[in-house]
Amino acid sequence: MSGDAGVQVRTETYGDATADPPLVLLHAFPLDASMWDGVVQGLGGLGRVVTVDLPGFGAAPLPTAAPSLDAVADAVVGAIDALGHPRATFAGCSMGGYVALAVARRHRGRVAGLGLVDTKAEADGDEARANRERIALAVLGEAGTRALLPMLDTLLGPTTHTGRPDVVEAVGGLVRGADPAAVAWAQRAMAGRPDSTGTLPGLGVPAAVVVGEEDGVTGPDQARAMAAALPDAVLTVLPGAGHLSPVERPEAVAAALAGLLVRVRG
């Protein structure tokens, strides 16, 4: 557990503790680090993997500071410091991708590689920010996290909804189990994040951009734009996956990230 005042994360490590730089996996909203379980299994033998519960999710404590993904990024870097690693490959899905981009903006020298999975570099527009505040208020009210259940229609792709009821149920359980206060804090932190588009061209490290072909939230067009802006990126579009490709297609996401690690570690 590490972080600046009021914002802490929790880490779990796998694999060779001496391997450097590690791969740091940052989860999507409103899930926790367990969403990476299938990916971690697919990365066995590829050095150290660190999964992170972001503030208020999983086993991480609720934040007491004002909502800020920059503060989350600082807490993640603090956690990697505590593990003794000067640099890491940071890979994030959706909200986790926003955190990875914040790490790249604020701690560029700490980034050995970057994985952007079903995410985007642009800031929210006015409509999106208003919707996030609406959701924050809803979950803090009588509905609680039941207000999030309609998200399942967009988080998972049609292929998963049709043929993977186990995945739909598992993700639904994580959504229902999220702490309403953490959900509201994260929504407000995401609403306030700056645009990271201008950061991409200056990131001269290996990058992987991964997106579900059925992702209707941050889809293939946005993924292609990020890959084009990055100096050294490999784009992977995954058939049969929506916005949570690490849950829907974990083996394929593991393969894409394994390729990134090979490029980072030379």
pLDDT at 211 over 80: yes
- Residue 1: its pLDDT value, please? 58
Residues 165-206 pLDDT 10s: 999 999 999 999 999 999 999 999 999 999 999 999 999 999
The predicted model scores a pTM of 0.96
Percent of the chain with pLDDT over 90: 92
For residues 115 and 260, the answer to whether their CB atoms sit within 8 Å is: yes
The contacts of residue 86 (CB under 8 Å, 6+ apart) are: 20, 21, 110
Distance CA 155, CA 168 (A): 10
Q: Is the dihedral of CA 132, 136, 142, 143 positive or negative?
A: positive
Residues 50-64 pLDDT 10s: 999 999 999 999 999
Question: In the predicted model, what is the mean pLDDT of the chain?
Answer: 95
- Residue 44: its pLDDT value, please? 84
Helices (H), the chain: 37-42, 69-82, 95-106, 126-140, 152-155, 158-163, 165-177, 180-191, 220-229, 245-248, 250-265
pLDDT at 97 over 90: yes
